[in-house]
Amino acid sequence: MDLNNSVETELKKVRQELASYKIELYQTRGYLQCILQNSEDMIFATEVGGMLISFSKGGEKVLGYSFAELIGTYIKDLAENPVSFENFFNSSGQNGPTVQLDLAFRHKDGGTIYFNVSLINLTNREGQIVGKVGVCRDITLWKKIQEDLVRIDRLAEIGRIAAGIAHEINNPLAIIGEASGWAGMVISDAKGLNPEDREELEKATKEINLQTRRCRSITHELLDFARGSTPALTEFDIHDVIRDSISFLKPEL
């Protein structure tokens, strides 16, 4: 009789523990399901080989796939570089329980989405890895800002180079302009020149002056670009621009 009571007591205790574990399991499952349903991050779970077994609503939204479309899919196949992702996926078992890396994924429409991916091992009571969970934060905007900053730095460097070139060109242009002006006066006062030669020389010095002014205008534009100046709007005769352009390009035509 005492033995029966003892067995009954133990069974009751086991039932209570099982009921407690069951409640805890349901609560945990509900909690995890709530996270998957409401998180804006892409959260996925896979079996040990990488096949998807769970995919958050945030992931569906950011990549454009529904979980129903991804059933039977391996998570690496969503990555822009499956081989790199697979290496990262496998490293989580070697470099500790959690690894982190910035990776690119393909959107359903073909675009690229960048994520900071944290990969966590799921283990059983024996410590064996039975699956993995990935928490992915969308960093596409941050990446774009980073690329824009790099582009701005490059433009700033181009501006500094342009300013240096403009200053270097301005010095010989000033000398050419002075020499051309002096040559023009010499030609006007020179004796013994026949009219045709004088006309050709005067035409040449005028062309030198014109192209010198043109080069100065270009260097000023380079300096304005380097300083970030606002372009000035002026009226001009389009026919003059066409004539100057033809004259400038004539030797190459």
Q: Please report the pLDDT score of residue 69 as a whole number.
A: 94
Q: Which fold has domain 145-252?
A: Helix Hairpins (1.10.287)
Domains 39-138 and 145-252 in one fold? no
Mean pLDDT, consecutive 10-residue stretches, the chain (253 aa), reads: 64 70 57 69 92 92 93 94 92 72 94 94 83 92 90 82 79 80 73 74 82 81 69 70 67 57
Question: Class assignment of domain 39-138?
Answer: alpha beta
On whether the CB atoms of residues 47 and 131 are closer than 8 A, the answer is: yes
> What residues does 116 pair with on adjacent strands?
102, 137
Domain boundaries, the chain: 1-33, 39-138, 145-252
Q: Please report the pLDDT score of residue 109 as a whole number.
A: 93
Distances (CA, A) of 38 to 24, 32, 61, 119, 138: 21, 10, 11, 20, 15
Q: Please report the pLDDT score of residue 250 as a whole number.
A: 63
Q: State pTM to two decimals.
A: 0.57
